[in-house]
Structure 1
């Protein structure tokens, strides 16, 4: 049993930072999903999806959350709406929002279209191996 302690310690050294960052991502997803949707906008394809990774170069964790919506609003109107949104980032900073249109869906009304709203934020990598 004593021989396993170094292995358990090493495991925890790498897993605890990942669990902490996963909890930060889950909280960010909750804040994003609970923020009121713009008018004439409806959910599509389930809830928001999130990920943590190193995107680009550097020593940081990048958090990405994507939400697919059906809307009658333009991409510009949605971008304006989310640029004014009061949604705290991972560590209370302001996340960056991007909105783009997807292919039209056969399952939505003619006047609506499908868009993806993406929220991006970044923190120090710490000991999370996904971010190095």
Structure 2
């Protein structure tokens, strides 16, 4: 019984953060895309992790693949102006938006003149709330990290706009 209580204490913060991340993904997907743009709803990656080197804060990250006739700057400007509500709580209340072409595929246009791009939303400054993915120090003293955690490298969210740095992500809705 105490083991189940211990597991609940460790997993409930994960579930709370994952629920908040799913809510942000829903708000993004329910927002109309830019003109001449299609959002690939099956290709949504999200993760929760430590904000840079600050072991007391969580950062939420979502990545969406879009195909568009617009430039990167136009897509970025559209989503920066969009009124997508950030994650509630103790965060900064500002969504950071990055847009780039996929480093895995050379830039090319499809038959409709659209180019694939990655749109990334980040919302940081949230309390870690005992979530081991966010560096909860008391949790880490009692729990060995699982290989499924998002923490495959020390700074999971410090990504260049080119997006060439490897990362692990959690598939939403799985």
TM normalised by structure 1 equals 0.88
Please tell me whether Structure 1 or Structure 2 has the larger radius of gyration of its CA atoms: 1
Q: How is 1:43-62 mapped onto 2 (pairs within 5 angstroms)?
A: 43-44=39-40, 46-58=42-54, 59-62=56-59
The match for 1:130 is 133
Deviation at 1:110, TM superposition (A): 5.7
* Aligned pairs, number: 127
Q: How does 1:80-119 map to 2 (within 5 A)?
A: 80-91=77-88, 93-102=93-102, 103-104=106-107, 108-109=110-111, 111-119=113-121
For 2:67, the equivalent position in structure 1 comes to 70
Q: CA deviation at 1:105?
A: 5.0
In structure 2, list runs of 5 or more residues that go unmatched.
Answer: 136-174
- For residues 40 and 23 of structure 2, the distance between their equivalents in structure 1, rounded to whole angstroms, comes to 21
Cα shift readout 1:93-123 (whole Å, capped 9, x = no counterpart): 22111111223357x2262211100000121
What's the TM-score once normalised by structure 2's chain length? 0.68
RMSD (Å) for aligned C-alpha atoms: 1.7
Give 1 or 2: higher helix fraction.
1
SS state at 2:15 partner: helix
Give unmatched runs, 5+ long, in structure 1: none
1:11-50 equivalences under 5 Å are 11-44=7-40, 46-50=42-46
Deviation at 1:90, TM superposition (A): 1.2
Asked whether the equivalents of residues 14 and 131 of structure 2 are also in contact (C-alpha less than 8 Å), the reply is yes
How many angstroms does 1:55 deviate by? 4.1
CA distance in 1, matches of 2:128, 2:60: 11
- 1:54 counterpart SS class: strand
